[in-house]
Amino acid sequence: MSNSQFPVLGAGVGLRRALMGPLSSVSTEQVDFMEVAPENWINVGGRFGKQFRAYTERFPFNCHGLSLSIGSPAPLDFDLLGQIKQFINEHQIRCYSEHLSYCSDTAHLYDLMPIPFTEEAVRYTADRIRQVQDFLGQRIAMENVSYYGAPQQEMTEIDFINAVIEQADCDFLLDVNNIYVNSINHRYDAEQFLGGLPGDRIAYVHMAGHYQEAEDLLVDTHGADVIDPVWQLLGKAYALFGVMPTLLERDFNFPPVHELMAEVAQIKVLQADYAVISPTLGEPAEVARAQHVS
């Protein structure tokens, strides 16, 4: 996926209801794009609806869903998908993404549960993604998720992700913090895992903070600052795949806006550092730089 094919460019931030007022003063030079969960804004009118419209008229937007529950045994919710399709059209949303997980059966679980890493689950999940894409009339991006158990594991996480993305013929949302969290909790090499992901299908990137429950247990909370090892892993992602649009997620425990913008600015610094040239996605930036210099 070349720069011209990315749905957005630059560095972005997630727009949450509590940030509607604080972020109203940020400029398009500070933030290149924003993202919302469509479920939180569908059919919202009145004062909040007007405020949200003001944001979508100023900034490019992606939306990151919460309730698709792509791996659920329950039927797909086409009523919700119809509302999401209308929301995408109404606000000119650039990209719709969701989690490679499930969150419902007969009712919503209000948590992201891991899909079993099995061949049967690959086929089932990929088929449901294709149905969603056919219904929406566009490609969607699926995100690698954090998980704390791996039930019925017959294949590795990396093989499962690659198989689903390939069979579904969809895009990929790269969550760098989730890789780091999982690498600690499940004891694997984060950089090696990163290198095995489908870089040519990445639509954009998520960055976030987490909570350290114990030395060997991290919890993906989106409620803290991004830590240095996660920043370093983002740099590795740019080195592997080229500079990609990257969004900062913060869901609660919000700092002052200038601190939030400092993290967005840190994304921009990293992007500038790795934008010596623009390697084609899949060609390591170090190799491209060497060729450029020679």
Q: What is the CATH number of the domain that holds 87?
A: 3.20.20.150
pLDDT digits (tens, 9 = 90+) for 162-202: 999 999 999 999 999 999 999 998 899 999 999 999 999 99
Residue 218 bridge partners (DSSP):
212
Q: What distance in Å separates the CA atoms of residue 286 and residue 202, rounded to the nearest whole number?
A: 19
Q: How many domains does the chain have?
A: 1
Q: List Cβ neighbours of 244 (8 Å cut-off, separation of 6 or more).
A: 6, 174, 202, 204, 205, 237, 238, 281
pLDDT digits (tens, 9 = 90+) for 107-145: 444 456 677 899 999 999 999 999 999 999 999 999 999
> What is the DSSP code string of 181-236?
HHHHHTT--HHHHHHTS-GGGEEEEEE---EEEETTEEE--S-SPPPHHHHHHHHH
pLDDT band at 4 (very low <50, low <70, confident <90, very high): low
pLDDT value at position 251? Answer: 94
Instruction: Count CA atoms closer than 13 A to 171's CA, side-chain side.
Output: 21
Domain hosting residue 62, numbered range? 3-293
Q: What distance in Å separates the CA atoms of residue 45 and residue 31, rounded to the nearest whole number?
A: 25
pLDDT band at 148 (very low <50, low <70, confident <90, very high): confident
Q: Which of 140-149, 211-220, 230-239 has the lowest mean pLDDT?
A: 211-220
pTM (whole model) above 0.85: yes
Please, are residues 284 and 239 in contact by the beta-carbon 8 Å criterion?
A: yes
Pair of tokens at residue 222: 């989106």
